[in-house]
């Protein structure tokens, strides 16, 4: 087990489309070891999700640990379907784009069909903030970063440093457990 170095924006691997894994690759010892490293890395960086390209592995694998009181999801070869196109906006952050926050709008409800760590077909429907987390992670498998999706907000600033985000853009009222920003 090891904490891996995270690729930062500018590193070519972050812009490559990944390759899918076969069921025997998914259940291999090598992949198990990689998963251990991904969880160690995610924990060390205090993120809520991590995609394999972020640790220089160009394969269709992401882990999502949100909500953090639930078991993390391990997602291989995912396919995403939009169930509700209504856009919702959140401030996003990314371990590969450190020290920044950007406001991104994404569909509010999606279904993800994927293989789990035993290579069994699974499906999950997520909405609200978790839908944004999954879409952000799966974007990494297609070489897309959240900064590609930032749109100008009228009268606002859609991209800022974390310090200025906390100072000027963090909502005063935090609704329950729903975070207003994320790092993954």
User: Between 21 and 182, whose beta carbon lies closer to Zn ion?
Assistant: 182
User: Between 102 and 107, whose beta carbon lies closer to Zn ion?
Assistant: 102
Residue ranges binding Zn ion (CB under 5 A)? 94, 184
Q: How far is the CB of 27 from Zn ion (least distance, A)?
A: 26
Q: How far is the CB of 145 from Zn ion (least distance, A)?
A: 7
How far apart are alpha carbons 124 and 71 in whole angstroms?
A: 14
Q: How far is the CB of 63 from Zn ion (least distance, A)?
A: 12
User: Between 74 and 94, whose beta carbon lies closer to Zn ion?
Assistant: 94
Q: Is 137 designated active site? A: yes
- Eight-class DSSP state of 59: B
At 52 the three-state DSSP class reads helix
User: Between 143 and 170, whose beta carbon lies closer to Zn ion?
Assistant: 143
Q: How far is the CB of 172 from Zn ion (least distance, A)?
A: 27
Q: Of these residues, 117, 137, 172, 180, which one is catalytic?
A: 137
| Cβ-proximal residues to 167 (8 Å cutoff; 6+ apart), any chain | none
Distances 63 to 38, 109, 126, 164, 183 between C-alpha atoms, Å: 8, 19, 15, 29, 13
On the 0-12 / 13-18 / 19+ scale of CB atoms within 10 A, 87 is exposed
Percentages helix, strand, coil for the chain (3-state, rounded to 5) are: 30, 35, 40
- Which two structure tokens, joined as six digits, stand for 128? 């609200």
Active site residues: 137
């Amino acid at each position: 087990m090891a904490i891996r170095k995270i690729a930062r924006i500018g590193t070519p691997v972050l812009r490559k489309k990944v390759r899918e894994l076969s069921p025997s690759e998914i259940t291999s010892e090598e992949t198990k070891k990689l998963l251990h490293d991904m969880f160690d890395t995610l924990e060390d960086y205090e993120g809520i999700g991590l995609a394999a390209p972020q640790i220089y592995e160009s394969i269709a694998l992401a882990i999502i640990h949100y909500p953090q009181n639930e078991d993390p999801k391990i997602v291989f070869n995912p396919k995403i379907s939009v169930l509700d196109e209504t856009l919702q906006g959140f401030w996003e952050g990314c371990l590969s784009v450190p020290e920044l926050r950007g406001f991104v709008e994404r569909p509010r409800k999606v279904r993800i069909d994927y293989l789990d760590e035993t290579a069994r077909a699974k499906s999950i429907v997520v909405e609200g903030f978790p839908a944004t987390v999954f879409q952000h992670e799966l974007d990494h498998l297609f070489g897309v970063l959240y900064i590609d999706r930032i749109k100008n907000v009228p009268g606002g600033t859609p991209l800022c440093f974390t310090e200025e985000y906390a100072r000027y853009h963090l909502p005063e009222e935090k609704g329950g457990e729903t975070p207003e920003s994320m790092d993954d």
